[in-house]
Amino acid sequence: MATSPIAVSAFTHTSVSSDFHIARQSKDGAVSYLSDQRAALLAEIDNAKFSWFHVKVAFVSGAGFFTDAYDIFAINIVSSILGYLYGSVDATDPNLANRSLSSMQQLGIKIATPVGILAGQLIFGWLADIMGRKRIYGLELIIMIVATLGQCISGAGYGISFIGVLITWRTIMGIGIGGDYPLSAVISSEFSSVHIRGRIMTAVFANQGWGQLSATLVSLIAVLAYKRTLDTDSPTFLLHLDQIWRIIIGFGCVPASIALYFRLTIPETPRYTMDIERNVQQAAEDVDMFLTTGTYTVNPDAVTHRAHARREVQSDFRSYFGRWENFKVLLGTSYSWFALDIAFYGLGLNSSVILNAIGFGSPGSLTATNAIYVSMKNMCIGNLILSVAGFVPGYWATFLVIDRWGRKPIQFWGFAILAVLLIVMGFAYRKLVETSKGLAVFVFLYCLANFFQNFGPNTTTFIVPGEAFPTRYRSTAHGISAASGKLGAVIAQVAFQWLKDIGGPNAFIDHILEIFSFFMLTGMLSTLLIPETNQKTLEILSNERDSTDSYTGELPRTRLRNDFSNNLSTDEFRMTPIRLNPLESMPSSSQSSPVEKKIGDGILSSRRVHYDIFEMVS
């Protein structure tokens, strides 16, 4: 067996992993073989027709968002019930109108979940890039189920108040909800074909609308079902009202439990399998199986190189986002989500407060338990109107046009319309709420604002971060973007609770709406930083600088490292030790033709140059 000169190729890019698709200049060798195979697999995924597997992905991912929205927005109505039961303000007063949660109790309950979500988005976003999507998909749902059950059976004790226990459970639930954002986004993105990716991701996220609607419907049904028993309760012992809120919260476990099995059995995304685990064989089998049968199997003999692929990831992350063209995308997605959630959660988690402020919820004198029933029913109906007329249609309007219009126009004009609506609602607030016709106009504008939140930036801020970053950072970057949004949600809740009563009960709401409009204007500017991701492959959108520099020469193996290093600037690069681990030779088209056998690899830093070393064996 003759051995030809050793060929050393250095692939300059920003990944410590061997990113095979950038090695197209290699000829007839292992890297070229894997490059072509990877390209073929990606083309098969990107050009696949809509199939049952896409429906399954949308359902499995969407079920989590249904539960997320249900659990988040059910607190709208439940917080009012908790005020009658556990409020620290005149809790024993027989006049039920004087019973309510204190401002600190309301704030604690409403920000507990967003705080947990923020933490969960960062933690699970990072873990999904390190451990894989499949390994942790379902774990966040288990956390949500356990925390939801924990809320339902919570009670007070000598050492801790009930509100303290509830806040703890809602924070834990938020961690699970937060994990759902990056995981569901990247899974639906990486499995989807290019021409339907926007609609698949919108369908996943649109389950938020159904979750919000269901939270209101379940609340209304529970209140109606308990009408007679509420009349028999003593104002000082509201037993059945205590049952109502536990039923409302507990129902969130139902869709989560249904989706759990499917999440635990979904395959790893082929892009992660190829690019991070470097397991092209398993990825090929997965693609073939799920596009034809909707199922998948695991090949135990397929080799995974996860540890090597993730080496020095922190410096790699800094290198990639250290370039302005990449960092500006992360800045754009993060701030856009931050600005949107200022208004989205500021309005969404306080819709009952606003409805009461305009006289929609309260029947007047609350001196009997029947008045609680009337108040709760009106509040549920008001939230139902907002959901049916605004939240749900907005998502599906986006679904219809997102793969034709693109993400960026929908987000930009959504922010613009929201800014105008909130300015009108804010400056005309006091005049509108004085008359019944004006009140109807205000509710109509409120519904329009909800509509254009979802037919606008609320949907696109979820989609774009799931498309615009490389596979190895996609979940982390999405988690950072989403966590920025939840930071905005927390700030909105704190500010709303602090500002709303300036000048009297709910007297500052008009100015809060005006403040929200300012953030919508800034969201228009941040939208200019993001790319248009419509009808582009994820590999094109990753914006990586891939260049190939090659050196070939007569290099004795004992001096391989030194000779290779001397051909590069020693001031600019630092060589890591070479591992001489022969890999299986790739078959050539002819038995007499030479094949390349990989005999080593390594990394040159600090510019993240990964190199592979081959020898031609004939």
pLDDT tens column, 319-356: 889 999 999 999 999 999 999 999 988 887 777 777 76
What would the 3-class secondary structure string for 592-613 be? CCCEEEEEEEEEEECCCEEEEE
Angle between helical axes of 407-427 and 392-405 (0-180°, round to 10): 140
Helix (H) or strand (E) holding 551: strand 547-552
Identify the bridge partners of residue 274 per DSSP, sorted by sequence position: none
**pLDDT reported for residue 408:** 97
pLDDT-based confidence at 363, cuts 50/70/90?
low
Higher-scoring residue by pLDDT: 104, 406 = 406
Examine residue 45 and state whether it is found in any structural domain, yes or no. no
**pLDDT reported for residue 278:** 74
Q: Are residues 372 and 469 in the same domain?
A: yes
Q: Are residues 536 and 557 in the same domain?
A: no
Q: What average pLDDT score do residues 531-547 get?
A: 79
**pLDDT reported for residue 567:** 39
**pLDDT reported for residue 300:** 46
Range of the structural domain that residue 180 is part of: 52-540
Judge contact between 148 and 242, C-beta under 8 A.
Answer: no
- Long-range pairs, 133-138, Cβ under 8 A, ≥24: 133/183, 133/186, 133/187, 133/190, 133/268, 133/269, 133/272, 133/475, 134/266, 134/267, 134/268, 134/269, 136/179, 136/183, 137/183, 137/187, 137/263, 137/264, 137/266, 138/260, 138/263, 138/264
Q: Per-residue pLDDT for 112 more than 70? A: yes
**pLDDT reported for residue 575:** 31
Q: How many domains does the chain divide into?
A: 2
Q: Does the pTM exceed 0.75?
A: yes
Q: Please write the tens of the pLDDT for every residue from 201-230.
A: 999 999 999 998 999 999 999 999 988 887
Helix (H) or strand (E) holding 116: helix 103-131
* Alpha helix stretches (DSSP H) within 268-323: 270-275, 280-292, 306-309, 313-321
Q: What average pLDDT score do residues 416-423 get?
A: 97
Question: What is the distance between the alpha carbons of residues 169 and 439, in angstroms, rounded to a whole number?
Answer: 37
Q: What average pLDDT is seen over the chain? A: 77
Handedness of CA 296, 302, 467, 451 (dihedral sign): positive
Residue type at 433 in one-letter notation: V
Q: Per-residue pLDDT for 89 more than 90? A: no
Which are the contacts of 405, defined by CB distance < 8 A and separation ≥ 6? 534
Higher-scoring residue by pLDDT: 59, 100 = 59
Q: Are residues 506 and 576 in the same domain?
A: no
Q: Per-residue pLDDT for 308 more than 90? A: no
Q: Are residues 504 and 528 in the same domain?
A: yes
Examine residue 321 and state whether it is found in any structural domain, yes or no. yes
Percent of the chain with pLDDT over 70: 73
The dihedral region occupied by 406, where left means phi > 0, alpha psi between -120 and 50, and beta the remainder, is left
Q: Are residues 435 and 552 in the same domain?
A: no
Q: What average pLDDT score do residues 29-36 get?
A: 45
Judge contact between 352 and 81, C-beta under 8 A.
Answer: no
Helix (H) or strand (E) holding 250: helix 239-250
Q: Are residues 479 and 562 in the same domain?
A: no
Domain edge (last residue) among 497, 523, 540? 540
Examine residue 379 and state whether it is found in any structural domain, yes or no. yes
Judge contact between 575 and 602, C-beta under 8 A.
Answer: yes
Higher-scoring residue by pLDDT: 448, 542 = 448
Q: Are residues 327 and 235 in the same domain?
A: yes
Nearest to 475 by CA among 467, 325, 536, 177: 467
pLDDT-based confidence at 93, cuts 50/70/90?
low
Q: Are residues 572 and 475 in the same domain?
A: no
Q: Are residues 62 and 30 in the same domain?
A: no
Nearest to 223 by CA among 238, 244, 251, 242: 244
Examine residue 47 and state whether it is found in any structural domain, yes or no. no
Domain CATH number, residue 280: 1.20.1250.20
Examine residue 71 and state whether it is found in any structural domain, yes or no. yes
Q: Are residues 455 and 355 in the same domain?
A: yes
Examine residue 183 and state whether it is found in any structural domain, yes or no. yes
Examine residue 533 and state whether it is found in any structural domain, yes or no. yes
Q: Per-residue pLDDT for 393 more than 90? A: yes
Percent of the chain with pLDDT over 90: 38
Q: Please write the tens of the pLDDT for every residue from 123-153.
A: 999 999 999 898 899 999 999 999 999 999 9
**pLDDT reported for residue 371:** 74
Q: Are residues 376 and 482 in the same domain?
A: yes
Identify the bridge partners of residue 9 per DSSP, sorted by sequence position: 550, 612
Q: Are residues 176 and 292 in the same domain?
A: yes
Question: What is the distance between the alpha carbons of residues 506 and 190, in angstroms, rounded to a whole number?
Answer: 46
First to last CA, the chain: 6
Examine residue 43 and state whether it is found in any structural domain, yes or no. no
